[in-house]
Structure 1
């Protein structure tokens, strides 16, 4: 497998879990990356056969070609049978190099809608798909985007995210404050400022209400300053990156995701698994997770008034909030698990190997870059 980085994020979490959970009786897992660093490096390094680095800072730099050749040589020498790239940067770098190395099976990932990526990067990724045998989308929304980019439907595989349901348990004791939580990196498409606007209208009415933002990112300083300028720093807390998200969710009353764009948000399925009522925007893959009025509440994007009204209704009607939470947890338990996700990837790897008559007597080598 080829990773761009091990910085905490939704894609990194899902792909690290995949790498760790692949059946070692069938697969020997090797990992390649651009930089051997990041808070989650320790989550994967002990569990793989090898982890190697091909450092580049930009596709515009001259050493990119040299590193691509080195990666192709490593694929040949290691005997890689399946390459699975995990995001846009890994797709662009890894797929052509693996094709040059004649890696038998090459799998690309499309796990986001890419609203924050440049036209040039998106064009490069589209070109890289020519070197992939399958492109995996983690939602129907991401698959639809691939089709709009002229990828043949026969090459698209939809495999949704997984979750360890046992790690997320509904709370048993109510905390003294009522807490609204969102878990998402602080990026523009996550629209945290919309939730801040909604919070500003709600906080004067509910003296026991607190908002908690979990996640780091480029907008930390900007959003912190916005909250301070509105005099809400003691009611809207920025918790940064947290490794104990299940515990944070267990201390919360409502989960909110105000995103403008989503392929398949981990935060929503984690909140539903934790038994929280969910308020989210009706965009992308969220529509595949939340059945409006049954397992959660959907609102239009960029509408702080609608967001505030939806949150207020749940605060004022605990019975309805509990019913949504119970139905949401049941839906997640029925549809999502890491076992299902990993099994789908394993079947796809083996099907592609058989299709290309590339099954080897030794354990299959799977690399992610």
Structure 2
């Protein structure tokens, strides 16, 4: 069975959650005996074509619109033609598009109609209601037009969590075409804590607050910078570490410099040692305005780092407030600062939350089950297994 994955971004040349989900699923499906190829957009420093972990990758040139719009978006006029040419060689049995907001997903229905093969679409995001006015209006306009068109032409829609599933239903996806396959997470490698770090992974001094994610509006890094002001007034020892890149990076660095916080902030960019950075974190913070099933939150939980996150999308499916982490309201920088300070002052609470979070996250370790579920659904769509009505 040959599967063509479509995604605007793909690891390791981009560090967001969707691209890592696509990479891990592709690896696991390859391990199950499927042939998997990925068509994605070009990335700085990435070759036009390569093979990663047995997965064929084809990249197409594109113009990023993210710096202009503030939301992930690109213009790729050659994408459909290049994808069609690639398909003539690869001959996929299944097309699997990821994230209805990606331009690669917008060409998926055209490829389906041209090739006559089933289309699977994974929705990675839930409700847009917490985005600010202009971003919410633009994203919603796209979602109810192009997004619904993609979903209408999809033979199967995969939601990464219950909140995303509910949102898919609100967009008109019928239960017989909708399943839920939660995101998984790789087990963190065993390691000896670095110097100055406790055996449980907490830095002895100074306290470190870590953010991991794309530096875009809907992940909320600007809210953490705003909250940091209140935190540093009360505890000037605290360091803030940002892992990831994106169009907000220059603006965030300029704002940090303007406020005179330069010594307390570190912008790491894309890293391949995220578990090591997490292992030295006192707290992990994810102040998102929009989420599906956040991979970075799962990674922090499985690494045993206490989490403060916002009550959006599937985050509340991972974080039971007060038990496996703390939840704050999206957009509330002052409330975020209060939560950070409270947990920094309460080591026993941090240890309790971290232990509970690690236990909760263990059920998500490993991508084999998710890949096996997908393989069964692919086979059903191809008529190689008896159809069965499944609860979404």
TM-score, length-normalised on structure 2?
Answer: 0.81
Preserved CA contact (<8 Å) 1:168 1:270: no
Distance 1:353 1:168, change over 3 A: farther
| Corresponding residue number in structure 2 for 1:108 | 121
Preserved CA contact (<8 Å) 1:20 1:44: no
In 2: Cα distance, 1:57 partner to 1:303 partner:
33
Match of 2:218 among 161, 186, 189: 189
Distance 1:248 1:339, change over 3 A: same
| Corresponding residue number in structure 2 for 1:290 | 319
Unaligned runs of at least 5 residues, structure 1: 359-369
Unaligned runs of at least 5 residues, structure 2: 65-72, 194-198, 388-392
Aligned pairs for 1:243-262 within 5 A? 243-262=272-291
| Corresponding residue number in structure 2 for 1:141 | 163
3-state SS of paired residue (1:181): strand
Aligned pairs for 1:166-205 within 5 A? 166-167=188-189, 171=193, 172=199, 174-205=203-234
| Corresponding residue number in structure 2 for 1:340 | 369
Distance 1:152 1:121, change over 3 A: same
Tell me how large the CA RMSD over aligned residues is: 2.9
3-state SS of paired residue (1:218): coil
Aligned pairs for 1:314-333 within 5 A? 314-333=343-362
Distance 1:214 1:152, change over 3 A: same
| Corresponding residue number in structure 2 for 1:4 | 8
Q: How many residues of Structure 1 are paired with residues of Structure 2 in the alignment?
A: 354
3-state SS of paired residue (1:30): strand
Displacement of 1:205 in angstroms is: 2.5
In 1: Cα distance, 2:371 partner to 2:263 partner:
42
Preserved CA contact (<8 Å) 1:257 1:280: yes
| Corresponding residue number in structure 2 for 1:82 | 94
Match of 2:173 among 120, 130, 151: 151
3-state SS of paired residue (1:180): strand
In 2: Cα distance, 1:23 partner to 1:143 partner:
26
In 1: Cα distance, 2:191 partner to 2:50 partner:
25
Distance 1:307 1:41, change over 3 A: farther
Distance 1:60 1:15, change over 3 A: closer
| Corresponding residue number in structure 1 for 2:112 | 98
Bigger relative CO (Cα 8 Å, ≥ 6 apart) = 1
Preserved CA contact (<8 Å) 1:95 1:108: no
Preserved CA contact (<8 Å) 2:63 2:76: no
Preserved CA contact (<8 Å) 1:18 1:342: yes
Displacement of 1:248 in angstroms is: 0.6
Aligned pairs for 1:17-166 within 5 A? 17-24=24-31, 26-35=33-42, 37-38=43-44, 45-48=51-54, 50-53=56-59, 55=61, 57=63, 64=78, 68=80, 71-72=83-84, 74-75=86-87, 77-88=89-100, 89-103=103-117, 105-113=118-126, 118-119=139-140, 121-122=142-143, 123-166=145-188
In 2: Cα distance, 1:305 partner to 1:63 partner:
43
